[in-house]
């Protein structure tokens, strides 16, 4: 599943780049409108000031507005009862995995596994509700983190504090119209059933496995299993 | 020595760093006389300013197209365009169609079986029968 809780942190880097790009594009557009004058001239230009295309409004924590029915459905922030525990074998093996780029992650969404690397495009087999293009989601359920030679398997899932996997909502895709012809026996009538499903497009922004130092900095504790 | 083109070293992957909406321009065409444009005219009068304000990254053009049905055309970054005929539709339905064009990727509609498309090389490499700890042949 995904959570929007860590989105504010996720925006720290991409927002600046977003701003840079959208400004450039807005300039291009205004130039295009100036060269080809349209027949109708609105008083206020409809393609207005450049704005960062992010999901900043939707990332407001739902706790602030609990009365809104839409916000009630949002996933709650993860509350960890105890800090992440690292044993000695994990601490000794983790540098092998973290130092070997690139990484992949088998992330689970509605219990379906997706093997992801950075930059991959995902077309989900469903239309994800309550998201709009530009939103950033964080996948927090993974069964395997790995590199070429090493992998860290969860039982059944890896603790979500060990890695960061973020995806960006790119838009909505559709399939071509499907027409299924249905017939009944001894009836000279063919029923046509039409379907045209929509799918959400995602792009994997980063797959990052945290190093042992980062984990310890974030409050992980080392447990000694021999004792 | 023949002239050689410059090889691209990177492929553009929108959304990894910065994100640009795929729809760059929406054209709204209407007819002042025809009845099939009635919903479209109402949409242009009442809902389009709010829609344009909510989507400043999209260039919006409104132009008459006399004696024809009303049409919304979306232009996309990949160079393609999508047109939807909105004859006899209510303003709310037209709003939904405009939203559809806004969120679309601009690609031709395809039926795909695999959810993931990747430009990266396989992380784990290609399986080989001569390596690894197989127990028996």
| pLDDT greater than 90 at residue A25 | no
E-only strand ranges, A25-103: 85-86
| pLDDT greater than 50 at residue A62 | no
Structure ipTM: 0.85
| pLDDT greater than 70 at residue A128 | yes
Average pLDDT over residues A53-58: 41
Secondary structure of residue A136 in the 3-state scheme? strand
pLDDT digits (tens, 9 = 90+) for A140-170: 999 999 999 999 999 899 999 999 999 999 9
CB A192, CB A180: distance < 8 Å: yes
Determine which helix (DSSP H) or strand (DSSP E) holds A98, and give its type and residue range: helix A88-99
Distance from the Cα of B103 to chain A's closest Cα (Å) equals 5
Local confidence band at A203 (pLDDT 50, 70, 90 cut-offs): very high
* Contact flag B57-A38 (C-beta cutoff 8 Å): no
* Contact flag B52-A146 (C-beta cutoff 8 Å): no
| pLDDT greater than 60 at residue B60 | yes
Closest residue to B120, CB basis, from A119, A124, A174: A119
Secondary structure of residue A43 in the 3-state scheme? coil
- The reply to whether A58 touches chain B by the CB within 8 Å rule is no
Taking CB atoms and an 8 Å cutoff, what residues of chain B touch A118? 16, 120
Which segments of chain A does DSSP mark as H helices, in order? 7-10, 14-35, 69-72, 88-99, 212-217
Secondary structure of residue A15 in the 3-state scheme? helix
* Contact flag A114-B22 (C-beta cutoff 8 Å): no
Q: Pick the more confident residue, A162 or A67.
A: A162
Q: Where are the domains of chain B?
A: 23-103
- The Cβ-side half-sphere exposure at A170, using a 13 Å CA radius, reads 26
Backbone phi, then psi, for A19, in 5-degree steps? -60, -45
Q: Where are the domains of chain A?
A: 85-223
A89-103, A155-169, B7-21 — which is least confidently predicted? B7-21
Window 13-42 of A: residues touching B by CB (8 A cutoff) are 14, 17-18, 20-22, 25-26, 29, 32-33, 38-40, 42
pLDDT digits (tens, 9 = 90+) for B80-103: 999 999 999 999 999 999 999 999
DSSP state at residue B12: -
Closest residue to B20, CB basis, from A21, A103, A122: A21
Q: How far apart are CA A36 and CA A56, in angstroms?
A: 34
Distance from the Cα of B1 to chain A's closest Cα (Å) equals 37
Question: In the prediction, which pLDDT does A123 show?
Answer: 96
Superfamily (CATH H level) for B23-103: Glutaredoxin (3.40.30.10)
pLDDT digits (tens, 9 = 90+) for B104-122: 999 999 999 999 999 999 9
Task: Give the chain B residue whose CA is nearest to the CA of A125.
Answer: B115
Distance from the Cα of B4 to chain A's closest Cα (Å) equals 29
Task: Give the chain A residue whose CA is nearest to the CA of B20.
Answer: A22
Q: How far apart are CA B35 and CA B9, in angstroms?
A: 54
Taking CB atoms and an 8 Å cutoff, what residues of chain A touch B12? none
Closest residue to B19, CB basis, from A38, A102, A168: A168
Question: In the prediction, which pLDDT does A133 show?
Answer: 93
Mean pLDDT of chain A: 76
Average pLDDT over residues A42-58: 42
Question: In the prediction, which pLDDT does B44 show?
Answer: 96
Does the predicted model carry a pTM greater than 0.90?
Answer: no
| pLDDT greater than 60 at residue A21 | no
């Amino acid at each position: 599943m995904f959570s929007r809780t860590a989105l504010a942190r996720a925006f720290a880097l991409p927002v600046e780049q977003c701003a840079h790009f959208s400004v450039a594009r807005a300039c291009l557009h205004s130039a295009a409108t100036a060269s080809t004058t349209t027949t109708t001239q609105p008083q206020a230009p409809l393609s207005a000031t450049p704005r960062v295309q992010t999901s900043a409004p939707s990332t407001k924590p739902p706790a602030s507005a609990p009365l809104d029915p839409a916000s009630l459905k949002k996933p709650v922030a993860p509350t960890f009862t105890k800090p992440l525990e690292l044993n000695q074998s994990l601490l000794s093996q983790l540098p092998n995995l973290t130092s070997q780029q690139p990484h992949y992650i088998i992330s689970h969404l509605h219990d379906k596994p997706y093997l992801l690397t950075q930059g991959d495009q995902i077309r989900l087999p469903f239309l994800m509700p309550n998201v709009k293009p530009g939103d950033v989601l964080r996948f927090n359920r993974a069964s395997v983190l790995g590199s070429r030679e090493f992998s860290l398997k969860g039982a059944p899932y890896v603790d979500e504090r060990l890695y960061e996997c973020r995806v960006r909502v790119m838009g909505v895709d559709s399939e071509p119209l499907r027409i299924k012809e249905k017939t009944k026996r001894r009836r000279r009538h063919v029923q046509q059933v039409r379907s045209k499903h929509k799918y959400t497009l995602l792009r994997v922004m980063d797959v990052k496995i945290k190093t042992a130092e980062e984990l310890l900095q974030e409050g992980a504790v080392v447990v000694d299993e021999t004792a | 020595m023949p002239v050689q083109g410059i090889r691209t070293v990177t492929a553009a992957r929108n959304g990894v760093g910065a994100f640009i909406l795929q729809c760059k321009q929406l054209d709204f065409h209407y007819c002042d006389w025809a009845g099939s444009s009635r919903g479209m005219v109402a949409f242009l009068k009442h809902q389009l300013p709010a829609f344009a304000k909510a989507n400043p990254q999209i260039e919006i053009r409104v132009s008459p197209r006399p004696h024809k049905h009303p049409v919304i055309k979306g232009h996309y970054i990949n160079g393609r365009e999508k047109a939807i005929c909105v004859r006899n539709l209510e303003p709310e339905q037209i709003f939904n169609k405009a939203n559809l064009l806004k969120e679309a990727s601009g690609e031709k509609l395809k039926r795909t079986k695999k959810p993931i498309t990747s430009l990266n090389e396989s992380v784990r490499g290609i399986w080989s029968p001569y390596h690894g700890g197989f127990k028996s042949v």
